[in-house]
Amino acid sequence: MPEHVAIIMDGNGRWAKQRGLSRLKGHEEGARSVLAVLKAAKKAGVRFLTLYAFSTENWIRPKEEVDGLMNLLALFIDRHRREFLENKIRLRVIGQIDRLPGGVQKKLAKLIDQSAKDYEYTLIVALSYGSRAEIAAAAKAIARKAATGELDPETITEETVTQHLYLPDVPDPELMIRTSGELRLSNFLLWQLSYAELYVTEVLWPDFREDEFYQALEAFNQRGRRFGGVVTH
């Protein structure tokens, strides 16, 4: 069983368009898939689940859609706060959080703080996130330390970079799932996904529920993990 699963939740807009609905209706249905997959991951014993909810590029979408997404996020937190705490699920967030509306930031901060006190599983939500921006920020932090003499440039290793990313204490994902059939990473966890198994399904995110998640886990279990070596089983 993978310890950490990452998901690019794609297809909300197409799901809505197929049904003659607004894109926001697709996002609302997609929120139900988030709950379903979170429960399935917990039941399967996946300790870390990272969801790509909103990218740095998504800010260029129509203001009405962006505002709707932010309102939906705030509503999701209010409605499911108790579920997080009762089920011992910790919330963590990665990305340029300072770009989010102030009210959303406060709600996120409150649940992040509350859920960190007693947890067994972790949900990581990528909000206003871009992997290149994350890596660039890590490079800047390392450069500053090198400039002040705190860090010897000759000692910089891959682990040094990892330790300056958003969540250095979280293990890299072993499995990355992308819905809606798109075959690209879309600036998502480029450093952390180096050795992840990729699973792409044609299912649109609002239709991706428990059974589809278990199918992805089963596909993962059928693969040999080489890490540059040779499978011995």
Per the DSSP assignment, residues forming a β-bridge with 127 are 54
Contact between residue 64 and residue 55 where contact means Cβ atoms under 8 Å apart: no
d(CA 233, CA 218): 17
Tell me the catalytic residues.
10, 58
Contacts of 105 (CB under 8 A, 6+ apart): 97, 98
Contact between residue 119 and residue 151 where contact means Cβ atoms under 8 Å apart: no
DSSP annotation of 181 reads T
Q: Within 10 Å of residue 121's Cβ, how many Cβ atoms?
A: 18
Tokens of 179: 């819905």
Tokens of 156: 């910089």
d(CA 167, CA 116): 14
